Structures are given as structure tokens and as C-alpha cells.
Amino acid sequence: MAKRIEASNVSSYYGSFKAIDSVSMTVEPKTITALIGPSGCGKSTFLRSINRMHEVLPGARIEGRLTIDDQNIYDQDVDVTAVRRMIGMVFQRPNPFPTMSIYENAVAGLKLNGVKKKSLLDDAAEKSLRSANLWDEVKDRLDRPGAGLSGGQQQRLCIARTIAVEPQVVLMDEPCSALDPISTLAIEDLMFKLKDRFTIIIVTHNMQQAARVSDKTGFFSIDKTGDPGRLIEYDDTQKIFSNPSQKKTEDYITGRFG
């Protein structure tokens, strides 16, 4: 069920501002890919382009080709909701639905997409909460509000919510930046577990995290403010962190820049 993602010459715009310029990369199924780079270099914009979340903002548009198993998701006849059902997303700040309980949050994607049978929903809730390492902490209070959990728990609830709809790809936009080290570790463990089933792309500012969890790493950068972000280097994580081929990458990961 995991799928291959191929971006060729993808450029994203906010109105007339070009945020990323001509990014090309291939993400293999069942791998974890980390996107690193300084703030404002277009990592998140690129990530949001992959499940067509970029275009939610007014004036935002895309050029280039982005395929998932050889289907261009930006073709005219593509249903956006189908793309997003296939490519789930976890956001930087945990965003559980405030009017829903933990249980309802976990199965929100199923319920809102028309699954009605209680037994199916119950199974899916338990399965996804277990996958997200949250089940033991919340099983006795599934009817409590999702927003009442701690930050780390909320983020895992959002991950549970995302994987409950069984997407093929999971995008994570700095999922741990608002979390403490223990919650971060819990989510990193979770990513290893989920790797068997999903293709994961994660944006992170934490280079240790990128080095720990990812198979491949892409380094984004900008020359100066106002310029579009570019993909400088994309390679195996080991190679990027031990022997990068670009000077800029080396400067960034050794802390001399950015």
C-alpha cells in the first residue's frame, strides 16, 4: 500500500512570490525521508504541495509534475479529496478537533467519510490508537475531549487520526517541534513502526532527528531572503551526514551556516 512519490521540476508560488524553485526528487515506498534546511527555505511548502494542501491558501499555486505511482496528482481530473485520503498529513502544532472526544478524533476521518458501523469504528479506533502508542494512556477515557490531552498525546492522537484512514503516504511537518524529548522519542519510535506500512516524509529542524530516523535526506536552502528555496542535495542520510557532496550541505550540518 505504500507508494512511490516522484516530483519533477516542482515550483510553488504564493501569488507572485516564488517559494520553491524546480524541486525534483523521488521518494521510494516504505522509507522515511527527512527534509532539512534553514527556516523559510520552502521545506514545508514542498511538503504541503505533495498532498495539495498548498492550494488551500488563497493565491497559492504549483508548477511542475508530482506523481504518486505514475499518476500526476495535479492533473485536471484528479479529485483533491482522493489525493488527501491517500496522502495523510500531521501538522506542526497538534490540532485535534475541539468538539470531538478522543474516540471521535481517532476515527474522524472514517466517520466524516461515511463509515457508520459502530463495530468497525471501534476496531479502527483501537487499532489506530495502538499504532500511535496512545491506547494504554487513553483507553479508560475515550469519551473525554481530545483537546484535554497533553501536547505529546495530542500529537499522537493526530497521528492516530491520520493513520486510521490508512493512507499510503504520511507527511509530517515538524511533528515534534512543540514536544518535549520524551514525547519526541515516542513519536520517533512510532515512525519506525509505521515505516513497514507507510511512506513517510518528515520536515524537521532537528538534525539529530533527521539522522536518527530517516533513510534519505533532502537539504533545502535559499541564497537570500526573497529568493525561492532550492533542493541543494538529496541522498542517503548516511552520506549526507558523513560525506555530503555539496559545500552548502556540509556548512549547514556542521553548524557553520543557518
**Looking only at residues 1 through 40 of this chain, which bind another protein when binding is defined by CB under 8 A?**
none
Verify binding: residue 155, another protein, rule CB under 8 A.
Answer: no
**Looking only at residues 163 through 202 of this chain, which bind another protein when binding is defined by CB under 8 A?**
165, 167
Measure the CA–CA gap between 258 and 249, rounded to whole angstroms: 10
Least Å distance between CB 109 and another protein? 3
Question: Rounded to a whole number, what is the distance in angstroms from the first to the last CA of the chain?
Answer: 37
Verify binding: residue 108, another protein, rule CB under 8 A.
Answer: yes
Tell the burial category of 241 from Cβ atoms under 10 Å away from its Cβ (0-12, 13-18, 19+): buried
From the list 198, 200, 241, 199, the residue with the least C-alpha distance to 219 is 241
Secondary structure letter of residue 244 according to DSSP = -
Verify binding: residue 149, another protein, rule CB under 8 A.
Answer: no
**Cβ contact 193:131 at 8 Å:** yes
Using CB under 8 A, count the residues that bind another protein.
33
Contact with another protein (CB under 8 A): which of 26, 71, 98, 254?
A: 98
Helix (H, G, I), strand (E, B) or coil at 64: strand
Verify binding: residue 99, another protein, rule CB under 8 A.
Answer: yes
Residue in this structure with the C-alpha cell 504541503, named with its chain if needed: 48
Residue-wise DSSP of 70-85: TEETTSTT--HHHHHH
Verify binding: residue 161, another protein, rule CB under 8 A.
Answer: yes
Nearer to another protein, 203 or 222 (CB): 203
Least Å distance between CB 72 and another protein? 18
Contact with another protein (CB under 8 A): which of 63, 93, 236, 257?
A: 93
- For residue 34, the cross-strand partners are 202, 217
Kindly report the length of the chain: 258
Least Å distance between CB 99 and another protein? 4
Verify binding: residue 91, another protein, rule CB under 8 A.
Answer: yes
Least Å distance between CB 59 and another protein? 10
Secondary structure letter of residue 56 according to DSSP = G
Verify binding: residue 151, another protein, rule CB under 8 A.
Answer: no
Question: Contact positions toward another protein, by CB under 8 A?
Answer: 51, 53, 56, 58, 81-86, 88-89, 91, 93, 95-101, 108-109, 112-113, 143-145, 158, 161-162, 165, 167
